[in-house]
Structure 1
Amino acid sequence: MRELWRELRQELAGLVLPGGCAGCGVPGVRGELCARCGSTLAGAVPRRVRPSPVPSGLPRVYASLPYADELRALLLAHKERGALGLAGPLGVLLAAAVREASVRAPDSARRRAGGGPLTLVPVPSARRAVARRGHDPVRRIAGAAARELRGRGVSARVLAVLRQRRTVADQAGLTARQRVVNVGGALELVPGVGRLLAGGETMLVDDVMTTGASLAEAARAVAEGTRPVVAAAVIAFRPRP
């Protein structure tokens, strides 16, 4: 009910407030994205990205764009300000990274996957963050990405099979090593879901990768309960200085 009310408020706000692009702020935009920012997203070329240092257990990660400028504003608008209409274009970006990750997956991973659907497993947000925002942004974008993939003939689905088993600190301001310690052992598979991941490719998805600590922990939790993930895909990569 809370999520439905948030969506309704956003739709009503769009009717009564002057439009502005969530990416660059240009006024008079119908919807939440101007043509220039839309063109920037459409021109994304996904590539493999690597944090430094690379945390142990991190799978191959593919990102569509750097975390900067208009894309940073769009991600924050969707995540923190409830601009839920942006899940669609952000999902298209994530789907592009997923396709690249799947194509580039090693043959050994493909053999392990065998036949079956492509399963996108979102990295879970902290419960308190979901409660504060009124929605789970990564899960919502993953759903949009799966729809985009199915529209292109890929049998894709989203399974939110990971959950936090202990509280973690806010990652902001932590070093790469501190982030690894902070999230180490924090995730687990929801009991009884291992069979749902049998067959097909399992791929982790998230909105942004910084140090890779969260993705490495998610990969550990999935592999511990079922099989190794094929790869990981994110919308944006934010390297730390």
Structure 2
Amino acid sequence: MRGWWRELSSLVLPTECAGCGGAREVLCEPCRALLRAGPARRVRPVPEPAGLPPVYAAVRYADQGRAVLLAHKERGALMLAGPLGRALALSVRAACVQGPQAAAPGRVLGLVPVPSARAAVARRGHDPVRRIALAAAGWLRREGLAVRVRPVLRQRRPVADQAGLGARQRAVNLAGALAVRPGALAAGEPVVLVDDLVTTGASLAEAARALREAGGLPLGAAVVAGPSNGWF
């Protein structure tokens, strides 16, 4: 109910651009263009955690890009999922084309969202990463790429809130926290991990470990935004 109310509110209530705060619309054209401009770039957190697959981001986690992500994630601006999904689609394509392992022709590519804690989903009233992943899959299918969202990861133990934790603390907090649901992933199945952003890379590294342990083949990771100091 909470998610539906937020979505309805974003349709009928006066608003301002989530990126720049200027125009009285959910997302103005310059901010929308920023998200779809591309190309997606390789990003590397510093320090880079062991086991992190190649990560690609469409925008820097700063200024308008950061504002749009936070509006969708924390303030429930659900109409932003479409533009953010388009940005994520750019990163998925980069992971498939530029990564060390390309997706095999004719095979369906799985997009695996990094799961949020149940408490976070309940607090926000929606699952932002899964919502953006579904939007990205829609864009990619319209562009001729065979993809499907594969929410196969689960948290097998509680983890602390990551906010305020450093890179080492996040790695310790997440170590062994994720697992693939039994029978959900075929051996050698090609997947791309997806998340809204990468900061330390601890979440993506842990997710990649769980996928490899279950026999999956992570081709890379795709995010909407990456840190400015890790941009390549």
Classify the TM-score, shorter chain.
over 0.9
CA distance in 1, matches of 2:228, 2:168: 14
Name whichever of 213-222 and 115-124 sits farther off.
115-124
For normalisation by structure 2, the TM-score amounts to: 0.93
Is the alpha carbon distance of 1:177 and 1:147 closer, same or farther for their aligned partners in structure 2, counting shifts above 3 Å?
Answer: same
Aligned to 2:8: 11
Match of 1:167 among 128, 151, 158: 158
Task: Return structure 1 stretches of 4+ with deviation > 4 angstroms.
Answer: none
- Is the 8 Å Cα contact of residues 18 and 27 (structure 1) preserved in structure 2? no
Residue 226 (str. 1) matches residue 226 (str. 2) = no
Match of 2:140 among 140, 146, 149: 149
Aligned to 1:208: 197
CA distance in 1, matches of 2:55, 2:23: 35
Aligned to 2:95: 101
Residue 138 (str. 1) matches residue 134 (str. 2) = no
CA RMSD of aligned residues (A): 1.9
Q: Which runs of 5+ in 2 are unaligned?
A: none
- Partner of 1:172, secondary structure, is coil
Is the alpha carbon distance of 1:204 and 1:70 closer, same or farther for their aligned partners in structure 2, counting shifts above 3 Å?
Answer: same
Aligned to 2:115: 124
Deviations for 1:50-86, whole angstroms, at most 9, x for unmatched residues? 1111111000111111101111111111111111110
Alignment of 1:180-219 (within 5 A): 180-195=171-186, 198-199=188-189, 201-219=190-208
Is the alpha carbon distance of 1:102 and 1:110 closer, same or farther for their aligned partners in structure 2, counting shifts above 3 Å?
Answer: closer
Q: % of aligned pairs identical?
A: 57
- Partner of 2:133, secondary structure, is helix
Aligned to 1:66: 60
Corresponding pairs, count? 230
- Partner of 1:229, secondary structure, is strand
CA distance in 2, matches of 1:20, 1:118: 36
For normalisation by structure 1, the TM-score amounts to: 0.89
CA distance in 2, matches of 1:66, 1:44: 11
Q: CA deviation at 1:121?
A: 0.1
Aligned to 1:21: 17
Deviations for 1:160-218, whole angstroms, at most 9, x for unmatched residues? 000001111111221211111110000001122123x654x211000010011100000
Is the alpha carbon distance of 1:55 and 1:13 closer, same or farther for their aligned partners in structure 2, counting shifts above 3 Å?
Answer: closer
Q: Which has the larger radius of gyration?
A: 1
CA distance in 2, matches of 1:148, 1:18: 28
Deviations for 1:104-123, whole angstroms, at most 9, x for unmatched residues? 122xx348x57410110000
Give, as a single letter, the amino acid of the residue that structure 2 aligns with 1:19: T
